[in-house]
Amino acid sequence: MRKLILLLFAIMPAIAFGQGFQVNLHGQKQIGMGHTGTGLLQDGASVLFNPGALAMLPQNYVQAGMSPLLFKSDFNPSGTTDQFRTKNKIATPFTAYGVWGPKDARWKIGLGVYTPYGGLTDWGQDWAGKYSLESLNLKAIYFQPTLSYRVTDFLSLGAGFVYNHGTVDLTRAIPVSNSSGQDGQAELKGNGHGFGWNAGAFFKTNVGLTIGLDYRSQVNTTVKNGDAIFKVPSSLQSSFPQPNTFTTTLPLPSTSSIGLGYKPSNKWTLAVDVNFTKWDVYKTLGFDYAKNTPTLQDTYSPRNYKNGWSYRAGAEYKATDKIFVRGGGGYVTTAVNDGYVTPEAPDANRYYLTAGLGYKVTKNLDLDVSFEYEHLDARTQTNIESQLSGTFKTNVYIPGLSLAYHW
């Protein structure tokens, strides 16, 4: 008669992808220049930066690049000297663009495949926040066919359709010890898809100034019937029925950008971009399990994100006919309100610095490399849901390389 009521063991998977999950690695030339490009005509990456600019591109492009990313976070629980660090795992954002149109035609078509959102965070199984998160691998791959039309010599417009294929793999510890004292574990693993669109406009002025406007819509990505795997002591397995599935929807937010490009001389190109990401659509995160028990309930966690801004600037210097040197930087405001910071992407205001180098291997082939350093401010927080209390600090290191063939 020892009445036992197993409490909710706080099975609240928390995919909290802040600005930290917005991956802005969309082209080596643009990375080198501090992620500017909305108001420039650089190469095929305009498919993403501004579909309106495609029709202005002087050539056709096929290009691909990769930016291996190392996300290094540190957590210091409040009142301790402990430091818990994420493991060295390398995420691999990539880009591939194709742009084609008949010579001297007013139109061009394009296709982009790129990874605008994602995250790879692995804190391991022995850190203070293991009941919030052990590891998360989240990827969104966008496929974007695009059409652009040059209305006049100084204005072109373009629009694209977006199909997103997303995958998520999240693990966290469950606070039930087995007979050897080890925690249980929840793993949520699945893939889903979503749709969206984008549009842009590009203006040329006669004083060397170019202006770009770009809008990329929200893409609601629904993961349906993903695997919900619970490893718990056998005496508790009936509370965590197996096999089980989950369904969730992640609203990947819309972004609006304005960019300016300016060529003060034929050696220099300068650019600034301002980018607005409408994170406030991310109000709650819900997980709907196919099989519920008194212990395993559907969960709804408040997120209450706020909109984020990023301010970007960059420059390119044409050192010789074949060599381009680039540099840039930016500042990004956090999307995550105080009290909502979680270890998935311990978001904070951040700045970044970039450098790049371009080399014309042949008349038709560009080799570009880039390097980016991102620093997220230390942020001391107590999460309102988990009460995980401490300071997060993150640095991100991103080298990158791309090849572009144009004709």
Give dist(CA 58, CA 253) in Å, integer. 32
Positions 34 through 63 that interact with another protein (CB under 8 A):
none
User: Using CB under 8 A, which of the segments 115-123, 191-199, 211-219, 365-373 binds another protein?
Assistant: 365-373
- What are 18's strand-pairing partners? none
Positions 132 through 161 that interact with another protein (CB under 8 A):
132
The site map against another protein for 75-94 (x = CB under 8 A) is: xxxxxxxxx-x--x------
Q: Which helix (H) or strand (E) covers residue 312, if one does?
A: strand 308-318
Give the side-chain half-sphere CA count within 13 A for 259. Answer: 35
* Closer by beta carbon to another protein, 10 or else 105: 10
Q: Which of 64, 274, 357, 403 binds another protein (CB under 8 A)?
A: 357
User: Using CB under 8 A, which of the segments 226-234, 242-250, 269-277, 297-305 binds another protein?
Assistant: 226-234
For 249, counting Cβ atoms within 10 Å of its Cβ (0-12 exposed, 13-18 middle, 19+ buried), the class is: middle
Length of the chain: 407
The site map against another protein for 228-257 (x = CB under 8 A) is: ----xxxxx---------------------
User: Using CB under 8 A, which of the segments 47-55, 141-149, 178-186, 245-253 binds another protein?
Assistant: 178-186
**Distance from first CA to last CA of the chain, Å, rounded?**
81
Please list, in sequence order, all residues whose beta carbon lies within 8 angstroms of the beta carbon of residue 315, skipping any fewer than 6 positions away.
33, 268, 269, 270, 271, 326, 327, 328
For 264, counting Cβ atoms within 10 Å of its Cβ (0-12 exposed, 13-18 middle, 19+ buried), the class is: exposed
Q: Which of 195, 283, 378, 407 binds another protein (CB under 8 A)?
A: 378
Site membership for another protein, residue 130 (CB under 8 A): yes
Site membership for another protein, residue 74 (CB under 8 A): yes
Give dist(CA 183, CA 174) in Å, integer. 6
Positions 282 through 341 that interact with another protein (CB under 8 A):
320, 322-323, 325
Residue labelled with tokens 């997220």:
376
User: Using CB under 8 A, which of the segments 21-29, 101-109, 273-281, 378-386 binds another protein?
Assistant: 378-386
Q: Which of 114, 131, 203, 282 binds another protein (CB under 8 A)?
A: 131
Q: Which of 178, 185, 191, 256 binds another protein (CB under 8 A)?
A: 178
Please list, in sequence order, all residues whose beta carbon lies within 8 angstroms of the beta carbon of residue 65, skipping any fewer than 6 positions away.
27, 28, 94, 95, 96, 368, 400, 401, 402, 403
* Closer by beta carbon to another protein, 266 or else 320: 320
User: Using CB under 8 A, which of the segments 114-122, 142-150, 262-270, 366-374 binds another protein?
Assistant: 366-374
DSSP per-residue codes, 181-226: SPPEEEEEEEEEEEEEEEEEEEEE-TTSEEEEEEEE--EEEEEEEE
**Rounded to 5°, angle at Cα 41 from 260 and 119:** 80
Residue labelled with tokens 């501004």:
50
Tokens of 284: 């709650």
* Closer by beta carbon to another protein, 201 or else 355: 355
Q: Which of 56, 336, 369, 404 binds another protein (CB under 8 A)?
A: 369
3-state secondary structure 249-263: EEEECCEEEEEEEEC
* Closer by beta carbon to another protein, 145 or else 399: 399
Q: Are 64 and 403 in contact (CB under 8 A)?
A: yes
User: Using CB under 8 A, which of the segments 69-77, 98-106, 109-117, 161-169 binds another protein?
Assistant: 69-77
Q: Which of 120, 176, 223, 296 binds another protein (CB under 8 A)?
A: 176
Give dist(CA 218, CA 253) in Å, integer. 4
Please list, in sequence order, all residues whose beta carbon lies within 8 angstroms of the beta carbon of residue 240, skipping any fewer than 6 positions away.
174, 184, 230, 232, 293, 295, 296
Q: How far is the CB of 95 from another protein (least distance, A)?
A: 18
49 phi and psi angles, rounded to 5 deg: -65, -35
- For another protein (CB under 8 A), the number of binding residues is 64
Q: How far is the CB of 24 from another protein (least distance, A)?
A: 18
Which residues would be at the binding site for another protein (CB under 8 A)? 1-10, 70, 72-83, 85, 88, 126, 128-132, 175-179, 181, 183, 232-236, 320, 322-323, 325, 355, 357, 359, 369, 371, 373, 378, 383, 386-388, 391, 393-395, 397, 399
